């Protein structure tokens, strides 16, 4: 199977990462990752499940075949070549089947969406590598958003303005983890909702939103508004298809986020 250097295939429980982008957590992982064409990674906790090696699939956990969602992920792995031929823009979105169960576990139902005027956001079934964020983590966006981000970042740099990605795509499981960690620190769900959208309602799930920062500026702070980077975005971002999602007094009740921008192009 050919190495796919820029494509992440997404399934409800497991992500299929291209080889060469994930860090080793042990000597055993290092040997597998150094040769892997793709890596199967559990979304819930980031555990590496299997490495797709030239000679075949190497299980990295016991009882791999009993992992939830493994058959779906292996089917997606088998069809990666077909995905590449069809094109990343044509692959579509994941179903929202399991999201309601996760929301109910937080004591949330459809009334949250009605109250905030936020829609449920499906995860894309495939994402493109859009470069790397401030922390040298791979930045994943849907293909047209990735192209637009790279173009916009390069244009700003040409004018002496540094735009840094802070974060891009986040899965429903990632957002749920934010809630679980904050609840473990004693915060209530209602308190968390004042600064974090409920799992399934964050624009980051779509692969079309990213948080933007700049050099020597703390991430995700209102002070970003006073930087040359923000001024450049205010004047130029729309030309690349990006809009600021949460201005002051937005109808969703979300705090002002001058760093959060959404791609609305095609």
Q: What is the pLDDT of residue 244?
A: 98
Among positive and negative, which fits the CA dihedral 217, 222, 228, 234?
positive
CA distances for 7 relative to 126, 168, 187, 246, angstroms: 7, 15, 37, 29
Structure tokens that stand for 27 in this block: 């000597």
Of 64, 56, 22, residue with least CA distance to 39: 22
pLDDT of residue 28: 82
* pLDDT at res. 86: 52
Domain limits, the chain: 7-86, 143-263
Strand partners of residue 59 = 50
| Residue 123, CA distances (Å) to 44, 93, 145, 206 in order | 14, 6, 14, 5
Structurally, what CATH architecture does the domain formed by 143-263 represent? 2-Layer Sandwich (3.30)
Mind listing the pLDDT tens digit of every residue in the chain (266 residues)?
344 458 999 999 999 999 999 999 888 899 999 999 999 999 988 999 999 999 999 999 999 999 999 999 999 998 875 555 455 555 699 999 888 888 988 999 889 999 999 999 999 999 999 999 999 999 999 999 999 999 999 999 999 999 999 999 999 999 998 999 999 999 999 999 888 889 999 999 999 999 999 999 999 999 999 999 999 999 999 999 999 999 999 998 888 999 999 999 87
Cβ neighbors of 64 (< 8 A, separation 6 or more) are: 49, 50, 70
Please say whether the beta carbons of 38 and 52 come within 8 A: yes
């Amino acid at each position: 199977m050919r190495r796919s250097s820029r494509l992440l295939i997404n399934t409800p429980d497991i992500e299929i990462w291209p080889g060469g982008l994930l860090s080793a957590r042990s000597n055993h992982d290092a040997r597998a990752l150094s040769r892997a064409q793709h890596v199967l990674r559990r979304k819930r906790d980031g555990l590496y499940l299997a490495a797709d090696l030239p000679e075949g699939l190497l299980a990295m956990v016991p009882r791999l075949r009993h992992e939830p969602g493994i058959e779906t992920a292996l089917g997606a792995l088998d069809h990666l070549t077909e995905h590449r031929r069809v094109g990343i823009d044509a692959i579509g979105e994941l179903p929202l089947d399991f999201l309601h169960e996760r929301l109910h576990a937080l004591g949330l139902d459809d009334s949250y969406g009605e109250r905030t005027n936020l829609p449920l956001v499906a995860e894309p079934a495939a994402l493109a590598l859009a470069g790397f964020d401030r922390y040298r983590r791979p930045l994943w966006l849907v293909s047209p958003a990735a192209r637009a981000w790279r173009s916009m970042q390069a244009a700003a740099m040409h004018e002496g303005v540094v735009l840094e990605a802070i974060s891009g795509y986040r899965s429903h499981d990632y957002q749920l983890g934010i809630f679980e960690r904050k609840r473990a620190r004693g915060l209530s769900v209602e308190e968390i909702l004042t600064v974090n959208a409920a799992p399934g309602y964050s624009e980051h799930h779509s692969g079309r939103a990213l948080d933007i920062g700049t050099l020597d500026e703390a991430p995700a702070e209102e002070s970003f508004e006073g930087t040359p980077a923000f001024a450049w975005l205010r004047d130029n971002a729309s030309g690349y298809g990006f809009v600021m999602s949460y201005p002051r007094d937005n109808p969703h009740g979300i705090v002002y986020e001058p760093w959060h921008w959404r791609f609305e192009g095609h």
